Amino acid sequence: MERIVVGMSGGVDSSVTAMLLQKQGYDVVGVFMKNWDEKDENGVCTSTSDWQDVQDVCAILGIPCYAVNFEKEYQDRVFSYFLSEYRLGRTPNPDVLCNREIKFKAFLDFAMKLGAGRMATGHFVRSEQRDGHPVLLRGVDGNKDQSYFLYMLKEAQLAKAVFPVGGMTKQQVRALAGEAGLPVSDKKDSTGVCFIGERNFRTFLQNYLPLKPGDMRTEDGRKVGAHMGLAYYTLGQRKGLGIGGGGNGHSWFVVEKDMANNVLVVAQGEDSPRLFSRYALASQATWIAEEPPAPEGEPFRCTVKYRYRQPDQNATACVRGDRLTLAADDPQRAVTPGQSAVLYRGDVCLGGAIVEQTANEPFSL
């Protein structure tokens, strides 16, 4: 009987994942990963309650469960990168790195040491063999698809992973949990960055990055306010700027972070031309199939998502080494350095890269 180790978070998705695999006759072991040790804004250590939920679910299913501590790996491989990116004024996506470095590397290694043939998670994605190679597919539930966060995986990792809830809707997952009497069937989904959770983002960040206030200015240099530190803002941001209407009465938006002069540049109106760009230059390109979708320097068509919830955007891409250029068919709003540009062909996730620059003129590689 093949052993499958399930990464269990205490949520409904991973709980149903374990239940489904057990029903399919696998030798299932639940493992809770502790990656972060800090109380939330109410003074509650959420990992303690999540671990209790894992134990309760495993007791009902009659499967063994363990807890493993990856706090050091998380600090070294994910959180240090997160802080360094914010210091540079960029907007990183630590969840992407967490999947590559922790869940599908440190945890996968741990699962193999437990004698597992494969590991499983509650991600809303699918994987299947095509022409002898594993491919990553979007989850059936378009509102919950998480392939965006897994684009850094490789074929070797996919070959060792299963995603039992990827072919289901969230509603179906909750219904199964309720029918089985699992205590997490109605548990609220976690939101936000994994180690910040529901807490105020700025308050959290202030614990690690010193405030460096400066001027908030218009594109023509007129001072309209003050900012608390460029790291605390992102392109396209409207809320939290602390400046009234003025001017034409429209809301203000962040259109640039001038790191050299510590100036936050703002403009009025959500359709400000400064917020839009057609072209992006990205680095650290990584492909699930190891090789890029087309030979170096040869343009290819795809769709791209610059943000998790963004609808697919039609684009032409070109790769050279680990660098990638993207030319979107339509202007894109507030594409931000540090974000992940994830590429697709239909339901297949190809891979992606980290945005470095945007422009309204083509980049050359």
* Residues forming the active site: 98, 194
DSSP string, 28-43: EEEEEEE------TTS
E strand residue ranges, 251-321: 252-258, 263-268, 276-287, 300-305, 313-320
- Which spans in the chain are helix H? 12-23, 46-61, 71-74, 80-87, 94-98, 107-113, 155-158, 170-179, 201-206
Number of other residues whose CB lies within 10 A of the CB of residue 305? 22
Both structure tokens of 302: 């795809």
Q: Which residues neighbour 260 within 8 Å (Cβ) at sequence distance 6 or greater? A: none
Question: What residues are paired with 151 via a beta bridge?
Answer: none
Number of other residues whose CB lies within 10 A of the CB of residue 362? 12
- Rounded alpha-carbon distances, angstroms, from residue 92 to 86, 97, 204, 354: 7, 9, 15, 9
Find the helix packing angle between 170-179 and 12-23, rounded to 10°.
Answer: 70
Read off the amino acid at residue 23.
Answer: K
How far is 336 from 315, CA to CA, in rounded Å? 17
- Rounded alpha-carbon distances, angstroms, from residue 192 to 196, 199, 213, 262: 7, 9, 25, 27
How far is 168 from 157, CA to CA, in rounded Å? 22
Find the helix packing angle between 46-61 and 12-23, rounded to 10°.
Answer: 20
